[in-house]
Amino acid sequence: MCVTTEHAQKELLTLQEIHHPHCIVCGEWNNQGLKLFFQACEDGSVEASVKCSQILQGYTGLMHGGVISTLLDGAMTNCLFAHGKAALTGELKVRFLAPVVADRTATVRAWIRTSRAPLHTMESELLQAGRVVARATAKFMEAPNACIAARNS
């Protein structure tokens, strides 16, 4: 269970509002988005609960792999936000371990593996029924705020 840290949570929400208001994963201004609420945990990770609805399925009854990848990537971005960093995904590797069942809740978590600005190596996982069903590693590159803002418009 995640024990939230107040400072990191404030960083996360501030950078989310600045850089991700329309994000499909966490954006408050995206009416079709998932609007996940990420919590910054004391161990430096973040996590959010995900309702795996039928609208997100690929094969009948199973969540689409692209959606799973998006969730894992979004969690890593929000983890960086919790650490006061805004960065773009440069590489994403996903490993699907088990099918993700639609109409069941899951948890997505992310943490920093290594961080040497401007490059950050991240990890994330999606859990359903207490079991890891997908994992990802990624490399994120910090970019000037103007560059990130231009990509968001």
Residues of the chain with pLDDT > 70, as a percent, come to 93
Which phi and psi angles does 65 have, rounded to 5°?
A: -60, -35
**Is it true that the peptide bond before 21 is cis, omega within 30 degrees of 0?**
no
- For residues 106 and 50, the answer to whether their CB atoms sit within 8 Å is yes
Which phi and psi angles does 105 have, rounded to 5°?
A: -80, 150
Fold that domain 6-152 belongs to in CATH = Thiol Ester Dehydrase; Chain A (3.10.129)
pLDDT confidence of residue 147 = 52
pLDDT tens by residue, 25-54: 999 999 998 999 999 999 999 999 999 999
Tokens of 30: 């995206």
Which phi and psi angles does 114 have, rounded to 5°?
A: -140, 150
Q: How many residues does the chain have?
A: 153
pLDDT confidence of residue 140 = 97
Rg of the chain on CA atoms, in Å: 15
pLDDT tens by residue, 56-100: 999 999 999 999 999 999 999 999 999 999 999 999 999 999 999
| Dist CA 23 CA 63 (whole Å) | 19
- For residues 141 and 87, the answer to whether their CB atoms sit within 8 Å is yes
- For residues 123 and 96, the answer to whether their CB atoms sit within 8 Å is no
Cα pseudo-dihedral 24, 28, 31, 35, rounded to 10: 60
